[in-house]
Structure 1
Amino acid sequence: MKKKGRRGHGEGTVTQRKDGRWQGAFYSEDGKRHFVYGSTQQETLVKLRKAQREDEQGTLATGPNLKVDAYLQQWLEEVQKPTVRISTYVKYKKLINTYIVPALGGYQLQKLMPQHIQALYTKMGKKGLSVKTIQNVHGLLHNALDNALRWNMVSRNVTSVVKPPRIRKKEKQVVNLEQARVLMLAARGERLEMFIALALTTGMRRGELLALRWSDVDLDSRVLHVRRTVDFIARYGYVENEPKTERSRRDILLPLFVINMLKAHRVSQREQRLKVGKKWVDLNLVICGLEGNYLNPRYILKMFSKLLQSAGLPHMRIHDLRHSVLSLLVGMQIDPLSVQELAGHEDITTTLGIYGHVNYAMLQLIADKFDEVFKQDS
């Protein structure tokens, strides 16, 4: 027999099912009937009242109760793909299919709990995955569930009460002024000579350097225009994009010695083009492969490692050259706003953050200033 429970205060009913579980039911303001379930009458009544309050506040999940897998695929294809870069779309797709779906894909979206997500992060950590990867998964899930919240598919974003592991800030590897000179000398006559020279004097990102065209360089006025970036994406090949932010679109004044190097580099490139003939790919790139096409990032990494070895310099990432430029500018006592403009940082706090690992030079400058001011009192 179906055992009827008492009506709570207000609308809705609570009844016991044949399987022993309790069921609460009520009609929302749009006329649809909703159900909640519990193991006891009191638990079910509490859930019923919560659902009714959410209905009154407009936060009740009324959308289709998809599984996490189906929802994430829909969100990725319909919301993200039309609005984000291909590289971001590919990154999200990998995170979803590699880490999230195997662990959470079978859950109903509305039944996804904080402990499910916390268990995923714990499991990823035990497998030796980096904190950065776990943070990326957390960011993706938070973004996706925020969208589900806007669509009334869930009543809350459960990632808001889950704490992923914190990323410990690593010390960046940078070269000092003398090491920069050594690296520049080691690059002379090598395939990466122009790449290294521009990287060490402009602070440009690798993708910006590889997308640089001769039409972006005014040799007479000594100005370089950063207008695009390029990435190699598996199954898509080389993909060009505009810089991520407005500040990343910037103009850089080049040193005279770099202008002279560019002029010589252009002559050498024209000779190579004649040698290659019809095989030449006319992309008008400043830094390119032997047939005019994009220079392979893996090749750059390989050649860069050899250069560091031959110069007797410690191992570092190519992106560390960018940090090195900013560090060198600090040593030259260049003001942060000018460094921000050169680097194309959207926020001055990003620029100031770069200064953190080279504060010794600034501290010495401060100490010297105090010596100068107060030495007459000692």
Structure 2
Amino acid sequence: MSIKKQKNGNYQVRVQFTDSLGRRRNKKKTVASLTLAKRAEREILNEVDAGTFNKVHKKITMNELIDKFMLDYSRGKRKVTIGRVNRFFELYVLTNEWFNHVQISKIDRPIVQAWIDELANKQSTYKSNASQLKRVFDFAVSYEYIDSNPFERVHYPTPIDKPNRSYRVENYDYDQLQAFIHAVENKFAKPNLDYRKYVYLRLLAFTGMRSGEATVLLWSDIEFTDSGTNITISKTLSRYRGQNFSINPPKTEAGKRVVMVDEITARTLKTWRNIQQQAFMASGVRSDIVFTSKDLVSYTTHSLPRTWLLSAIKGTDIPQTNIHGLRHTYITLAVQAGMDIKTLQAQVGHDDINTTLGVYASVTKDMRAKTVDVFTSLVNF
């Protein structure tokens, strides 16, 4: 038993005891004065003697607890976010090795510590994932399924090193992009369904569109006019659980935009439309989806564009980048070419101009080399 005065002048009462089931328990209460604290202490002791705290908590398994937690967590969240959290629970929590159908009352700190230790050996960024399970136990405490969170006083070990991806570049420079487009063209620019792979990769590199935005494009989103071609972006395709997809509006209002398309890329889109129309006629199906899968009626699987990219550069000296690296490439080279930053921000759909400048537009070697000339062209004395 203890009564401690806190810095704010209140008093905290803490009573530790062992209940009839042999469990160590403690009850805390904060009051405004020492007199009230002593009274609260007596009341808690009386309740201990009366067996008030000997109730058996409702039996609930981790599976049931996570279902209840997700109902609360999911309010206002995007499907892709919910799916990411669910996926983590499925792969690392609700496994037979750990917590699948285990009653949460049987999960103590040593068990949680062992789980954390294993997770740290698998993921370099395990702490953020572990915090998801900690929140689940916080939820259980708030509903009085358990008395305390077994995450209290756990040790977070040093994680494994991040994977070595030194072979991969964040974005292509001018020469690398030129070589990449030539490689993609040589590999896929043929009058068959493979042509869509060339158009898809070129579209990302020459417009700065996100992969999810390109995947969900409809022909009705594209306007071909004599003065130019533009694409209305109003949705994105996200993976939210396993191979399932969800069509959502962009995360921000800035993501809803009109993207301008250069003349060559517009021609490739028109060529692909003609090839696709011929395939529709031959198969007897129709679809408004731009980048249809092999069945000509469904969206391209989210993982395929990366395999296209890797296939195109295989056997070349072109370094690897990821699909999002094509967006990085567009933004970096647009800055290098002198595109107005506000125009670039509108083209790529950033709600914060600092994202355009700070996150993506890294200074290239060519830009650094021109720094002196840019300055002396103005101050030449």
TM-score by shorter chain over 0.5: yes
Matched, 1:346 2:379: no
Shift of 1:351: 2.5
CA distance, structure 2, for counterparts of residue 160 and residue 296 of structure 1 = 43
Shift of 1:74: 0.9
CA distance, structure 2, for counterparts of residue 357 and residue 203 of structure 1 = 15
Alignment of structure 1 residues 293-332 onto 2, 5 Å? 293-309=298-314, 312-332=317-337
Quick one: which of 114, 129, 137 aligns to 1:137? 129
> Which residue does 1:208 correspond to in 2?
213
Alignment of structure 1 residues 149-298 onto 2, 5 Å? 172-188=169-185, 189-190=189-190, 191=194, 192-220=197-225, 222-231=229-238, 237-277=244-284, 280=285, 282-292=286-296, 293-298=298-303
Matched, 1:96 2:93: no
CA distance, structure 2, for counterparts of residue 165 and residue 80 of structure 1 = 29
CA distance, structure 1, for counterparts of residue 327 and residue 21 of structure 2 = 66
Change (3 A) 1:75 1:23: closer
Change (3 A) 1:144 1:341: farther
CA distance, structure 2, for counterparts of residue 28 and residue 219 of structure 1 = 69
5+ unaligned residues in a row in structure 2: which ranges? 5-10, 32-37, 46-56
Amino acid at match of 1:260: R
Change (3 A) 1:71 1:246: same
Check the 8 A contact 2:80/2:241 in 1, yes or no.
no
Amino acid at match of 1:289: S
1:244-278 CA-partner distances (Å, limit 9, x unpaired)? 2222222111112222222222222211111112x
CA distance, structure 1, for counterparts of residue 3 and residue 158 of structure 2 = 45
Check the 8 A contact 2:213/2:237 in 1, yes or no.
yes
CA distance, structure 2, for counterparts of residue 348 and residue 339 of structure 1 = 9
Amino acid at match of 1:175: Y
TM-score by length of 1: 0.69
- What secondary structure sits across from 1:304 in the alignment? helix
CA distance, structure 1, for counterparts of residue 380 and residue 181 of structure 2 = 41
Alignment of structure 1 residues 76-115 onto 2, 5 Å? 76=70, 78-81=71-74, 83-101=76-94, 102=98, 107-108=104-105
- What secondary structure sits across from 2:250 in the alignment? coil
- What secondary structure sits across from 1:315 in the alignment? coil
Shift of 1:137: 1.1
Amino acid at match of 1:258: T
Matched, 1:366 2:371: yes
Check the 8 A contact 1:213/1:285 in 2, yes or no.
yes
Shift of 1:48: 6.4
Matched, 1:125 2:120: yes
CA distance, structure 2, for counterparts of residue 330 and residue 73 of structure 1 = 47
Shift of 1:219: 0.9
Identity %: 19
RMSD, matched Cα: 4.6
Amino acid at match of 2:344: V
Amino acid at match of 1:123: E
Check the 8 A contact 2:87/2:242 in 1, yes or no.
no
CA distance, structure 1, for counterparts of residue 19 and residue 30 of structure 2 = 22
**Whose helix fraction is larger, Structure 1's or Structure 2's?**
1
Shift of 1:123: 2.5
Shift of 1:175: 1.4
CA distance, structure 1, for counterparts of residue 205 and residue 21 of structure 2 = 72
Amino acid at match of 2:211: R
Amino acid at match of 2:176: Q
Alignment of structure 1 residues 1-16 onto 2, 5 Å? none
CA distance, structure 1, for counterparts of residue 352 and residue 58 of structure 2 = 40
5+ unaligned residues in a row in structure 1: which ranges? 30-44, 53-63
Shift of 1:116: 7.0
Matched pairs, number:
335
Amino acid at match of 2:221: D
1:117-145 CA-partner distances (Å, limit 9, x unpaired)? 6654332122xx2223x144135246546
CA distance, structure 2, for counterparts of residue 138 and residue 330 of structure 1 = 39
CA distance, structure 1, for counterparts of residue 152 and residue 201 of structure 2 = 43
Q: Which of 253-262 and 362-371 deviates more?
A: 362-371
Check the 8 A contact 1:142/1:159 in 2, yes or no.
no
Check the 8 A contact 1:223/1:252 in 2, yes or no.
yes
> Which residue does 2:51 correspond to in 1?
none
CA distance, structure 2, for counterparts of residue 357 and residue 299 of structure 1 = 28
Q: Which of 348-357 and 220-229 deviates more?
A: 348-357
CA distance, structure 2, for counterparts of residue 85 and residue 313 of structure 1 = 36
Shift of 1:374: 5.2
CA distance, structure 2, for counterparts of residue 272 and residue 374 of structure 1 = 61
Check the 8 A contact 1:330/1:355 in 2, yes or no.
no
Check the 8 A contact 1:289/1:296 in 2, yes or no.
yes
Check the 8 A contact 2:59/2:103 in 1, yes or no.
no
Check the 8 A contact 2:13/2:28 in 1, yes or no.
yes
